[in-house]
Structure 1
Amino acid sequence: MALFDLPLSELREYRPERDEPADFDAFWKKTLDEAAGHDLAPDFADFDAPLTGVRVQDTTFAGWGGDPIKAWMLVPEGAGRVPCVVQYIGYSGGRGLPVDHTVWPAAGLAVLVVDTRGQGGANIYHPGSTGDPHGGDHPQAPGMMTRGVLDPEQYYYRRVFTDAVRAVDVAASHPAVDPERIAVAGISQGGGIAQATAALQPKVKAALIDVPFLTHFRRAVEITDSFPYQELVQFMSSLRDSEERVFRTLSYFDGLNFAARGRVPALYSVALMDLICPPSTVFGAYNHWAGRKDISVYPWNGHEGGGSRQRDEQLRYLRELFSIG
């Protein structure tokens, strides 16, 4: 790793022009209106986890197209109505096991850990439980980045972001959750999903966005050789006339455009040696974020970012914001 991107002084001022389609808002309104036509049908089934002081529920709800999406709901026992974190997962991972997510209830918050459809099938640490029954009508590179990428309506992340928005409705429906104190959170892909959800879902009151993926796509593919962004490069290097269609589709999913619509308080993090999500892509979104914001900078870290240090900052941030304790 090396300090390969812009100097920190320039990163703090980096606010790139956004490639935003004229019908961006209409596209997402149509998408979410269509999803709202499916009954959310949240099912919270008690799960016998080897934990004390935490109620665990194996949760299922209807995501995009009415498809069943799995999640874990963890609530501190006997705490009354509490704030809730809706947590999204990094690339290739699934919801894992309840024991992976106990830090939030230990701090007095509920957490809804949302599976990412079609992922987690090859992750030995965080296996998933949710399939994706929809595919594209063209070839794709290995991975998820190019699934349906020639058409915004068919693109994989249209389904993922819709699932994420509906997951917040699921959290708000839980009897132990205070619907006025819901935050979204995630690292890498999860950070990108949280960033989009905070802009699309009015029930979100705060966003914890760590080293976000799915942000400033064009710059990312131009300055890093790392995957998953390289999936897009592989695809365009094979389908040599696809560039215009690919970037048109990605413009509907770019974190820069969601950040410009972010109005809630947001705590970002960035690592200056991050070869997977280059720091300029993170600062590009952060500097466009329209609401109150803070960012934690880790100069000597890669994509692992701040690790437990950042989680500690997040807990303190939410404790103050949501008046916990």
Structure 2
Amino acid sequence: MDDPDPQVERLLERIDQQRTPPTHGMSVPTARERLDELFTTPDPEPVGEIEEFSIEGPGGPLPVRVYAPETGTEPYGVFVTFHGGGWVVGGLDTHDPVCRALANAADCLVVSVDYRLAPEHPFPAAVEDCYAATEWAVEYADELGGDGERVAVGGDSAGGNLAAAVTLVARDRDGPELCHQSLVYPSVNSPSLQEFGSYEENAEGYLLERASAEWYYERYLSHPTDARNAYAAPLMARDLSGLPPATVITAGFDPLRDEGIAYADRLDAAGVPVTHEQFEGMIHGFLNLVDTIDRSRDAIAVLADDLRDAFVQ
């Protein structure tokens, strides 16, 4: 494999110079503050309109933020997205730049969901919130200027896990018929169940470290049996047939690389149309670094192109 992209190398050097511990050496509040700082964009991309409010969720009020594109014509396709952060960190603000970029690039409404975080709310709270938000988006799409028959879901890392879980729940419960799923370096496996080479190959030094991934899982899964639940680890699902077409993006220097590839392969084998793009030289989290890593925009373009296609079919 080639070396990391030069922009990635410079980013990693700056992080090393800060002499702060990795996520697994921090408290939960500090880890949350650290991600907020890393993903903050001082001059975000303008969009047509942004509304933020709460809907009724399984655990009480569930905040969402809705982005309308600068151009395009109503009714828009609707993309319901779930932020990454190991189910423990992240929120509406950390993923604001990507939501803005996708709304404009895909000419769609983006509904960003601020689901409950672990360890305060372990599995399955986040899955329940994300599924409820998806059902809500389908029901109320027309009032937002969207089309309830053209709804897709997606997310990065833990958000990719939740998007994959939502498609499984929707299928299993005869829920909304979703038109697409966008999974960016998704966390779809449980490290305690299945080993992949990228865990060892990219265990340290590439932003997300293997020990930190395990730290996240320890806070998300409160019971050992949850590790075998397909809604917690979609790669464990026995049957992936009947799910919406997928875009899967993986990064070459990511400990989660191989499980993302394995999931794309499983979807394909189950007859689900899949586009898989691997971004060599990239690290976990690169999609959010829109002002730091140029290839973030390339990944956004891949997602947007596939969403556009899904919304016109």
TM over 0.5: yes
Cα distance in 1 for residues equivalent to 2:50 and 2:308: 22
Distance 1:226 1:177, change over 3 A: same
Give the structure-1-normalised TM-score. Answer: 0.63
| 1:310 aligned counterpart, secondary structure | helix
Deviation at 1:71, TM superposition (A): 0.8
Contact 1:161 1:196 in 2 (8 A): yes
Contact 1:74 1:105 in 2 (8 A): yes
| Corresponding residue of 2:235 | 256
Instruction: Please give the residue correspondences for 1:283-322 in structure 2 after superposition, counting only pairs within 5 Å.
Output: 283-289=261-267, 290=270, 291-304=272-285, 307-322=296-311
| Corresponding residue of 2:186 | 212
Select 2:160's aligned residue among 182, 185, 191.
191
Select 1:266's aligned residue among 241, 246, 253.
246
Contact 2:55 2:62 in 1 (8 A): yes
Larger radius of gyration: 1
Deviation at 1:257, TM superposition (A): 3.4
The one-letter code matched in structure 2 to 1:103 is A
| Corresponding residue of 2:146 | 177
Contact 1:87 1:185 in 2 (8 A): yes
Contact 1:263 1:292 in 2 (8 A): no
Give the structure-2-normalised TM-score. Answer: 0.65
Cα distance in 1 for residues equivalent to 2:78 and 2:305: 14
The one-letter code matched in structure 2 to 1:114 is V
Cα distance in 2 for residues equivalent to 1:117 and 1:269: 25
Aligned: 1:160 with 2:126: yes
Cα distance in 2 for residues equivalent to 1:98 and 1:216: 24
Gaps of 5+ in 1: 4-49, 119-143, 149-154, 237-241
Contact 1:168 1:203 in 2 (8 A): no
Deviation at 1:227, TM superposition (A): 0.9
Gaps of 5+ in 2: 4-43, 171-175, 204-209, 287-294
Cα distance in 2 for residues equivalent to 1:189 and 1:209: 10
**Number of matched residues?**
234
Cα distance in 2 for residues equivalent to 1:58 and 1:254: 30
The one-letter code matched in structure 2 to 1:174 is A
The one-letter code matched in structure 1 to 2:134 is V
Aligned Cα root-mean-square deviation (Å):
3.3
| 1:61 aligned counterpart, secondary structure | strand
Cα distance in 1 for residues equivalent to 2:312 and 2:55: 29
